[in-house]
């Protein structure tokens, strides 16, 4: 990985850890942003992490741009040898694939899509070499996903599939963005899956919806009373396919204040994960579904 530093005016420096997203790039970025925070560099006013990059805002009257750059390069040298282990959570996210709401939306925006005659799932299956949408859906939910970034839209997680590079799914975004996307749509664009936290414009391919809210600015939902955003970087997500009946049941439980997502704490080691990805993912699922 070759780190690149770019100044944005007198108050910002953008750090690109790598040109491509990978868990290695995420952990290096995490180590560097933690290093900036832990060192308490005078003049740093904001740290904004992304997938394989981050941005630092600083006060040039307190620390000059060149001094800020020098501090970051010192931290980078330390980050090269940082421990790639974090304490995090693994979360089950129920997904109603082939739901009627995203289907209605995708039909309204067919002229903006690469394949106007098929669904988003049909298109995703075709370009990834699957025989049909059901095979693609199985590939989408079989392995867990790593939350590499939360943002762009409030509370929206970017999810990176935890499989070897040869098996990673890739699906381009719409040719032209939509002006509407149902709330809690599970989508895909490039190498990232996502969950739309609110209703609004978007361009990711739409595969289904989750009945589990992930963002509540009013903090009225039972499991979002402590913090309005559910996900944080480093979380691990396991999608679980559900049918229409189960979807409606969970919606009712959310409204009644009785729904609690399945969440377990877990220690994630990137080094151990890379030794045997499939075996490690199996252990993660055992943690999630164990007693």
pLDDT bucket at 82, cuts 50 / 70 / 90: confident
Mean pLDDT confidence for 40-65 = 95
Distance CA 208, CA 185 (A): 6
| Contact indicator for 248, 68 with CB cutoff of 8 Å | no
| Contact indicator for 271, 84 with CB cutoff of 8 Å | yes
Joined together, the tokens standing for residue 15 give 């750090």
Q: Exposure of 12 by Cβ count < 10 A (0-12 exposed, 13-18 middle, 19+ buried)?
A: middle
- Percent of the chain exceeding pLDDT 90 equals 93
| Contact indicator for 200, 180 with CB cutoff of 8 Å | yes
pLDDT at 254: 97
pLDDT bucket at 153, cuts 50 / 70 / 90: confident
- Percent of the chain exceeding pLDDT 70 equals 100
pLDDT at 220: 95
Q: Give the phi and the psi of residue 32 in degrees, each rounded to 5.
A: -70, -45
Domains 4-82 and 87-289 share a fold: no
In the predicted structure, residue 262 carries a pLDDT above the cut 80: yes
Question: Which tens digit of pLDDT belongs to each residue from 83-136?
Answer: 899 999 999 999 999 999 999 999 999 999 999 999 999 999 999 999 999 999
pTM of the model: 0.94
Q: Which CATH class is domain 4-82?
A: alpha beta
* Residue-averaged pLDDT of the chain: 96
pLDDT bucket at 81, cuts 50 / 70 / 90: confident
In the predicted structure, residue 138 carries a pLDDT above the cut 90: yes
Mean pLDDT confidence for 59-79 = 96
| Contact indicator for 261, 91 with CB cutoff of 8 Å | yes
Distance CA 49, CA 150 (A): 9
Nearest to 280 by CA among 23, 3, 14: 23
Interacting residues of 182 by C-beta distance below 8 A, sequence separation 6+: 101, 102, 105, 196, 199, 206, 209
Mean pLDDT confidence for 230-257 = 97
Q: Which residue ranges make up each domain of the chain?
A: 4-82, 87-289
pLDDT at 152: 82
Mean pLDDT confidence for 224-231 = 96
Q: Which CATH class is domain 87-289?
A: mainly beta
pLDDT at 47: 95
Cβ neighbour number for residue 35 with a 10 Å cutoff: 19
DSSP 155: T
């Amino acid at each position: 990985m070759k780190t690149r530093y770019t100044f944005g005016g007198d108050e910002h420096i953008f750090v690109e850890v790598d040109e491509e997203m990978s868990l290695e790039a995420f952990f290096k970025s995490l180590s560097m942003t933690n290093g900036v925070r832990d060192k308490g560099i005078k003049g740093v006013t904001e740290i904004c992490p992304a997938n394989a990059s981050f941005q630092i805002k600083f006060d040039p009257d307190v620390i000059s741009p060149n001094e800020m750059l020098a501090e970051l390069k010192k931290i980078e040298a330390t980050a090269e040898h940082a421990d790639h282990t974090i304490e995090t959570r693994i979360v089950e996210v129920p997904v109603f694939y082939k739901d009627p709401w995203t289907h209605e939306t995708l039909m309204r925006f067919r002229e903006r899509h690469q394949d106007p005659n098929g669904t988003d799932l049909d298109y995703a299956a075709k370009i990834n070499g699957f025989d049909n949408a059901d095979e693609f859906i199985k590939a989408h939910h079989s392995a867990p996903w790593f939350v590499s970034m939360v943002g762009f839209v409030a509370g929206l997680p970017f999810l990176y599939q935890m499989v070897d590079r040869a098996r990673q799914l890739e699906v381009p975004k719409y040719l032209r963005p939509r002006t509407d996307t149902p709330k809690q749509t599970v989508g895909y664009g490039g190498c990232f899956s996502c969950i739309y936290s609110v209703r609004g414009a978007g361009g990711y391919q739409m595969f289904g919806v989750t009945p589990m809210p992930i963002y509540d600015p009013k903090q009225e939902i039972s499991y979002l009373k402590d913090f309005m955003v559910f996900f944080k970087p480093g979380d691990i997500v396991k999608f679980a396919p559900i049918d229409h009946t189960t979807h409606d049941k969970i919606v009712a439980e959310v409204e009644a204040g009785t729904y609690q997502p399945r969440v377990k704490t877990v220690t994630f080691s990137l080094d151990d994960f890379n030794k045997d990805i499939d075996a490690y993912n199996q252990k993660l699922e055992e943690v999630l579904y164990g007693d």
